[in-house]
A and B are shown apart, each in its own frame.
Chain A
């Protein structure tokens, strides 16, 4: 992939001002390697999934006679239940994340620069620990005879019993894992709110609520929207949370897809379920992209 740039650069290196190589602008050359990666590593796999989803049950090749039977199966064999659960979990978690992350974003935005950096590092760092380690930690904390139950019992004689193996535990896990993904777009969004506008509004007698509703929220909206859609999309694929904290109390669509590919040995069914997730995720991303000015969000300095 990098061959293109490597072999072409030396040839023109002696030119005095080589802003363009041939008729192709430099920017295009530089974008090519990573675009090639995305064509072969993202687009092609998605096309393959789409092809497989129209193959007869249990085929292991994408070149058979197309059929809609996998999509029919999803409806008839109640596979839409897992899809519904995933959708519900994603919506609920995203709503909770909005509420949990907003005050955090405000606090970090208003903190002194040095403190803001420390807080940012502290919040990003857990992302580098495998999700399943952190979820296992929560299981050991919340389960019967775990840290919470055992600790309360030893200190106050109160027992909580097991707090895992239920849907709220799964939602908690998702909110816990994806908090940074909501937080950082939100902070970028809040950076759109100039402090002097808030001061001016306060001077003119605006209440705290009105400042929030009429100034802060509309200006920060793009960042909040992006964070919300990002969290919705990635929690749609929630997998480990349901497995560890839910311990099988419900099955999410990602788990159904996985079992269709592994135990089920039914790639077309797994593919059809994936196509549904991809379509849903894709439309959310499409909405987010339309509202987003990346230049403005990343380009601002200081």
Chain B
């Protein structure tokens, strides 16, 4: 393998290029948010913080942030509860039908989200559930809970089930075993799953768009402005949303590596 050094170099260059391309839109959005002119023209002639001031003053934006955060928190908590049990069924226990169950869980993930969103809207309408943020929590759960289950399942595969048995032999109740052994052992997976759920919900547009009714999340607010006429508040809100997500991710990963180290 004489040429392996060249190949490795080429792969390195390629990876770097792809990562740069992945972040171009975020950088551009950041640039557009500080441009003073109403329509974005590059190179930027004059910069301004006006659009950020407008954003912080906007009641609509504040409300949208609140809606997005509420949905994300509810989704993450509920998804984690479903996922802990779901993951134990997935990886820890042997039962008839488990293979099928593992596949069924993937179906909502392997599905065009806009179509799922519309189908849910139709369904909510038919059973008389009003489109509003709780409906969006449910809609996002259909997509996010299976993903979180897979994340927790990876953790569940890794732990030694005989520890649980030993605790039971020593007289621990079912609940004690869960609280003192299963739950802590799944800890890192649960934390990653929670983080993933918050971030996926925060960035989700199609499911929220079709199910939230009059409630507006940040991605929906942005969509409305993009369709209804561009204003530089779009990149300002967009960039703040990117920063919020990035911050949550960094804090989350730091906490997670601490947890992993303690264990």
Interface residues of chain A, those whose CB is within 8 Å of chain B, are 1-2, 5, 9-10, 12-18, 25-35, 37-38, 41-42, 44-46, 48-49, 52, 62, 100, 103-104, 106-108, 110, 119, 121-123, 125-138, 140-141, 145-147, 149-151, 154, 176, 179, 202, 208, 229-230, 233-234, 236-240, 243-244, 254, 257-258, 261, 267, 270-271, 274, 277-278, 281, 284-285, 288-289, 292, 294-295, 298-299, 301
Docked-complex contact B203 and A254, CB < 8 angstroms: no
Which residues of the other chain, A, contact B226 by a CB distance below 8 angstroms? 132, 136, 244
Report which B residues bind A (CB closer than 8 A): 1, 3, 7-8, 11-12, 14-15, 18-19, 21-29, 31-32, 40-43, 81-83, 85-86, 88-99, 101-116, 118-123, 126, 138-139, 141-142, 145-146, 149-150, 153-154, 157-158, 168, 171, 173-175, 199-200, 202-206, 218-219, 222-223, 226-227, 234-235, 238, 241-242, 245-246, 249, 253
CB–CB B1/A12 < 8 A: no
Q: Which residues of B contact A288 (CB under 8 A)?
A: 110
B219 in contact with A9 (CB, 8 Å): no
The distance in angstroms between the C-alpha atoms of A274 and B111, with both chains bound, is: 12
Q: Does B122 lie within 8 Å of A49, measured CB to CB?
A: yes
Closest 7 interchain pairs by CB? A237-B112, A137-B25, A27-B93, A150-B42, A27-B95, A130-B219, A31-B89
Q: Contacts A37-B142, A131-B205; is A42 near B108 (CB within 8 Å)? A: yes
Q: Give the distance in Å from the alpha carbon of A167 to the alpha carbon of B227 in the complex.
A: 19
Residue of B93, B119, B204 near A30 (CB, 8 A) is B93
| Distance between B141 CB and nearest chain A CB, rounded to angstroms | 6
Query: Quick one: closest B residue to A292, CB to CB?
Result: B103
Asked if residues A9 and B222 are in contact (CB atoms below 8 Å), the reply is no
Partner of A133 from B11, B98, B115, B222 at Cβ < 8 Å: B222
The answer to whether A138 and B95 have CB atoms under 8 Å apart is no
Given the interface pairs A136-B235, A298-B154, the reply to whether A27 lies near B89 with Cβ below 8 Å is: yes
Q: How far is the CA of A104 from the CA of B11 in the complex (A)?
A: 7
Q: A29-B85, A132-B223, A154-B42 are in contact. List 10 more A-B contacts (CB 8 A).
A: A26-B93, A27-B88, A34-B85, A37-B145, A48-B123, A49-B119, A130-B222, A230-B109, A285-B110, A288-B110
